[in-house]
Structure 1
Amino acid sequence: MSPIAKTALLTAASLSAFGLVAASDPLPPDLTYRPLPSMPLSAVREADEAQKPTVMERQRKLLNDRYDLSDRPIPGVLMSGGRKPVQDGVRVKLPAGETWDDLAAKSPQEIRDKDLLPKGFMPLPHVKQATGGQVFPEEEIGEIGRDEGRDLRRFDVDFDLPDNLTPEFPPPIFLTTHPELGDVSRGDLLTIRNFYEYMNGIVTPVQMEGLRLLLTPFPQEEFNQTEDRKVAQQSLGVACLDCHSNFHTNAAFHQTPDVRPQAERFRLDTVSLRGLFNQQIHGSKRSLRSVEDFTQFEQRTAYFNGDHVSATRKGVNLPDRTNQVAMMAQMQNIIDFPPAPKLDPFNRLDPAKASEQELKGEQVFMGKGRCAECHVPSLSFMDNNMHDLKLERFYKVGQTSNDMVAIPDGPIKTFTLRGIKDSPPYLHDGRLMTLADTVEFFNLVLGTKLGRDEKDALVAYMLTL
């Protein structure tokens, strides 16, 4: 057994000993398959509800130790729907006695040996790592409850980030087929109850059927009919657009289905589906080569934690490739990015519209900051590749945070930066709260040695995208 696996087992054993994990949770965490429940739902729920305050307080402490979570908006800067401010400033906390410039001057080995990597740059654990599963923000839970009568509230955990650090809700919807209409959401959340009225006459029959399927709840690991669920009442499940609200994101999170053991599965922040028409690979780790592949495979991965054996007993959904998957893909492929009026047709700033600081930020982005090497403007600010940042140069592999064992991230796909101000938190696991955090992260990891003015200009530039 590897040292990391042993660490995971010890972590699980200590949690069980202190009563922080129910006996029905997937332990030990070094298995490939998820074991069946060993306790009745009533006993699991009683144990989970008793442990919930401790679980949430432990996660609250981790977040407050790592970040400044206060509400500090950038004056006058709103997300694309015009209702929610974009948050300002670096929120990752530095080790005592360090400055960002001092840290950037140190070698990766020195930072690793002295344990100086800011904890906010480390992988962010799931709120309940040993159990995992989808966790929805309160706004989504409330809206789906009011509109559809479905309950997305888990009895064992709550969403862990404050509202000021999550995307605008509900987000606007922009269509490639009707750019003249602007936001077609009417300021509402698309649900199975209202989608036809809102989209009738705007989308094709094929797209309408795809939209219906994307809004239809199907069984899912934590939201299902069986006794291992994490909701009080038997559930129809979840819909694709429960996480990808209005084809964007509401910051709901899960765990990657692509890594085992359980203790090493990284938190997975919901990504936006905007601009999917230009994306050639899908999934942070899997690199699936079409949205059709992803849509079909997701029913056995995110929905069931990557365990097709577990899926069968819960009511597995096998969408038909021709008559269902293709239609779902057709709908997803017409979701556009939000307007960016300062960009020209080649995604470069128009000097007549951009400020001096924004133009300077574009220069940093294209040059010293090395951002454009992966986020290519002409390719919708991505490159349809996967890259390994080798962050483990800066920390000791195998350390644990709230039961998550830190291993190297490995190759992760390049995400688009179009409309990036609308999509906090950032990175594949949501470990960075603001755009300023991402600038400091990549300045350290890429060794670009940016000055304060260059960092501020880079943030100003990204706000135009």
Structure 2
Amino acid sequence: MNRSTQFPAIASLTLLCALGSAHAAEPARPTSYTNVIEEDFGAVMARMKGQKAQIEQRQSALLQERYDLSNRPASGATMSRGKPLQEGVRVKLRSGQSWDALAAMTPEEIKARDLWPAGFYPLPHPNHAEGGMLFPKFQIDEVNKQARRDLTRFDLDFDLPDHLLPEFPAPIYLTTRPDLGDVSKGKLVTSDNYYELFNGVLNPKQLEGLRLLVVPFPQQQFNLTADRRSERPSLGVACFDCHANGHTNAATHLVGDIRPQEHRHRIDTPSLRGVNVQRLFGSQRALKTVEDFTEFEQRAAYFDGDPVIATKKGVNILERGSQVHFMAEFEALLDFPPAPKLGWDGRLDPKKAGEAELRGQEVFFGKGRCSTCHTPPYYTDNLMHNLQVERFFKEKTINGRLASADGPIKTFPLRGIKDSPPYLHDDRLLTLDDTVEFFNLVLETRLSADEKKDLVAFLRQL
């Protein structure tokens, strides 16, 4: 190459490199679709396993900063099968602060002085940038034992301690057979034992619906493709892997219907108990029937709301006229747990309730304003409400989750609420005591310490 051709070539190469560097430095453009880059599975797994400890340490530090995670069971207060309830406010306040002092401030003051408690901000997914279904270890172990199906993720473990989660396995009560009590007989219902437990109790349609609820189907993190998050190819996830025994085991995920990633909410798995009296489904989706919810979960939520990825990984398209109907018919049989102190109207029987519980009921229907949304007998108004919690804080990013306006949230039933910790749509409230403090600030009700204590006593009886 002579000098006359050498310099233009070098100049062109330099320009190409510069353009390449500029292009590489550009931020990724927002997209509605999952950005999947095909990589060697072994390399992906090795990289994500290597990052696991650092990611989990970051989430653990956040939890320790926000909450008292100690095991402090309440005296004489248990869930339906006897697991002790955790007591006390677990959200930590800054040094020198008090709940009464905060309650005396306006939302504008709290926001301006940056005094909103850390534990009342939205709770991020354990790895918010990655997201995906994540199960408590007790669920993983029992499913592995019974069905030899592994729900372990190689990149991430569940983040909240077991003593702050629902009892496991949860009892199952049926609206059609209240005389039987807990029809699960203390077992986790899976594909291995559903027929043995329910043959002769359900009709053929309901039994088929239950079968479909305990059979695994491909899901974003658990499937047979190379971009899964299970070490071995997986058959997938069953509905009852999250809604264990038709209730909840507190398994978490990210909502599939919000973009971009930092705006997506962590999901607290809701109980399926009492869906027969509900008219809205999904914490924010406002789906109108349990059939809609069942179909939506399989087609969309299992794959982060991305039908392209769903097709690749093996979407299970349920037949609406039979399969969806059968599943919903069984779900509609799941009853709330017994509440022996409640009358037929959902209020306390004064002959059975204690003084603190009766005082708490007065707060619930009076000064506390709880019944504005949570109306008896099932303690839901079947509506959506926007709490406008963003009044109290400035936007900030927390472990990949942008804390900003949540928008309208479904009014979940409070019947059986003691069986369903942690609370709110994203698990940010660990105990009923935390929940009362949260709403005391949000609703600006200024309850006294005794009124808050009595209100918790009432909630435990629902």
Q: Say whether the 8 Å CA contact 2:251–2:269 is kept in structure 1.
A: yes
* Displacement of 1:96: 2.2
Q: Is 1:256–1:305's contact at 8 Å kept on the other side of the alignment?
A: yes
CA distance in 1, matches of 2:90, 2:29: 32
- Counterpart residue number, 1:428: 425
Corresponding residue for 1:12? none
Supply the distance in 2 between the matched residues of 1:157 and 1:205 (Cα, whole angstroms): 39
- Matched residue count: 438
Aligned ranges 1:248-397 → 2 under 5 Å: 248-378=247-377, 380-397=378-395
- Give 1:96's aligned amino acid: S
Match status 1:172 vs 2:171: yes
Aligned 1:66-465 pairs, distance under 5 A: 66-82=66-82, 84-378=83-377, 380-397=378-395, 399-465=396-462
Which structure would you say has the larger Rg? 2
1:29/1:261 contact within 8 Å kept: no
Give, in angstroms, the shift of residue 445 of structure 1.
Answer: 0.4
Partner deviation per Cα, 1:92-147 (whole Å, 9 max, x = no partner):
00122110000011111111111100010000000000110000000000000011
SS at match of 1:96: coil
Q: Any stretches of 5+ residues in structure 1 without a counterpart?
A: 1-16, 18-26
Q: Structure 1 residue 28: deviation in Å?
A: 4.7
- Please give the per-residue CA displacement for 1:369-426, whole angstroms capped at 9, x wherever unaligned: 0000100013x100100000000000112x1111111120100000110010100000
Give me the whole-angstrom Cα distance separating, in 2, the residues matched to 1:50 and 1:263: 23
- The whole-number CA distance in structure 1 between the counterparts of 2:284 and 2:346 is 27
- Unpaired runs of 5+ in structure 2? 1-24
For residues 264-284 of structure 1, give each alpha carbon's deviation from its aligned partner in whole angstroms, at most 9, with x where no partner exists: 101001010000100001011
TM-aligned CA deviation for residue 38 of structure 1: 3.5
Task: Give yes or no for contact 1:215–1:239 (8 Å, CA) kept in 2.
Answer: yes
Q: Is the 8 A contact 1:121 1:441 kept in 2?
A: yes
Amino acid at match of 2:388: K
Corresponding letter in the other structure for 1:73: P
1:58 corresponding residue in structure 2 = 58
Name the stretch that deviates more: 297-306 or 438-447.
297-306
Matched with 2:12 is none
Task: Provide the secondary structure at the position in 2 that maps to 1:112.
Answer: helix
* Partner in structure 2 of residue 11 of structure 1: none
Bigger Cα displacement from structure 2, 291-300 vs 213-222:
291-300
Q: CA deviation at 1:305?
A: 0.5
Distance in 2, matches of 1:445 and 1:301, equals 33
| Aligned mates of 2:460, 2:29 — CA distance in 1 | 41
Alpha-carbon distance in 1 for matches of 2:29, 2:169: 36
Q: What is the letter of the counterpart of residue 387 of structure 1?
A: H
Task: Identify if the C-alpha distance between structure 1 residues 384 and 29 changes in structure 2 by more than 3 Å, giving closer, same or farther.
Answer: farther
- What fraction of aligned residue pairs are identical, expressed as a percent? 57
Shift, 1:43, TM fit: 1.0
Distance in 2 (CA, whole Å) between partners of 1:73 and 1:436 is 13
Change beyond 3 A, Cα 1:28–1:140: farther
Aligned partners of 1:276 and 1:335 also within 8 Å: yes
| Other structure's SS at 1:285 match | coil
C-alpha separation between the residues in 2 aligned to 1:124 and 1:113?
22
The separation in 2 between residues aligned to 1:447 and 1:286, in whole angstroms, is 27
Q: What value does the CA root-mean-square deviation take over the aligned residues?
A: 1.3
Matched residue, 1:37: 37
Letter in 2 for 1:298: E
Which AA in structure 2 matches 1:297? F
- Partner of 2:301, secondary structure, is coil
Deviations 1:321-371 (A, max 9, x none): 011000000000000000000000000100000001000000000010000
Amino acid at match of 1:363: E
Secondary structure at the aligned position of 1:208 is classed as helix
2:41 & 2:35 partners in 1: Cα distance?
15
Say whether the 8 Å CA contact 2:222–2:230 is kept in structure 1.
Answer: yes
CA contact (8 A) 1:29 1:130 kept: no
**What's the TM-score, normalizing by structure 1?**
0.93
Q: Distance in 1 between matches of 2:89 and 2:400?
A: 26
Q: Which amino acid aligns with 1:385?
A: L
Distance 1:461 1:139 in 2: 30
Aligned to 1:9: none
SS in 1 for 2:302: coil
Contact 1:387 1:414 in 2 (8 A): yes
* Cα deviation digits, residues 36-69 of structure 1 (max 9, x gap): 2342111110111000000111000000000000
* 8 A Cα contact 2:38 2:227, kept in partner: no
